[in-house]
Amino acid sequence: MSLHEGAKAPDFNMPATGGRMAALKELKGKPFVLYFYPRADTPGCTKEACAFQEGLPAFSRLGVTIIGVSKDSMKALEKFAEKYKLTFPLASDTDAKVIDAYGAWQEKSLYGRKYMGIERSTVLVDAAGNVARHWPKVKVAGHADDVLAAVKAL
């Protein structure tokens, strides 16, 4: 499924690190960022998570919640969050329903073998619950800064 700017944000309710829940209904009236990443504690995903953690004070000042989403188990996510001192919620979507609803479940290819997996992507949802920005095929370097700039432009 492709997600377009201006579309209503698909509903979600997932367990998240720190005993929290990441739920659309809890974020009503507030802008938020969902970023989708393939796997906790891998080099690219770690760089991306640490960049969002570093930018967290700036996002928080703007009233924006950051939520990382992957298919990892809660145990793996808690370990990842603890290891890198990630204080924002990392949500577990083991059946990939939310990942798919947000357009991040894609066919990938590795050494000629095709498989389904998470495309690194980010969605900024505005206070009205609409997709304000969608970044497919994210390159990690500088991405958190790009997202912050888009938040400031809301």
| pLDDT computed for residue 3 by the predictor | 82
| pLDDT computed for residue 50 by the predictor | 98
| pLDDT computed for residue 32 by the predictor | 98
Q: Give the residue numbers annotated as catalytic, written as ranges.
A: 45
| pLDDT computed for residue 27 by the predictor | 97
The pLDDT tens digits for 48-96 are: 999 999 999 999 999 999 999 999 999 999 999 999 999 999 999 999 9
- Which helix (H) or strand (E) element contains residue 13? strand 13-16
Q: Taking 80 as the threshold, does the pLDDT of residue 5 lie above it? A: yes
String of DSSP letters for 105-128 = EEEEEETTEEEEEE--EEEEE-TT
The pLDDT tens digits for 121-135 are: 999 999 999 999 999
| pTM of the full structure | 0.96
Residues 6+ apart with CB under 8 A from 29: 127
| pLDDT computed for residue 111 by the predictor | 94
The pLDDT tens digits for 14-57 are: 999 999 999 999 999 999 999 999 999 999 999 999 999 999 99
**So what's the architecture of 13-152 in CATH?**
3-Layer(aba) Sandwich (3.40)
| pLDDT computed for residue 2 by the predictor | 60
- Which helix (H) or strand (E) element contains residue 106? strand 105-110
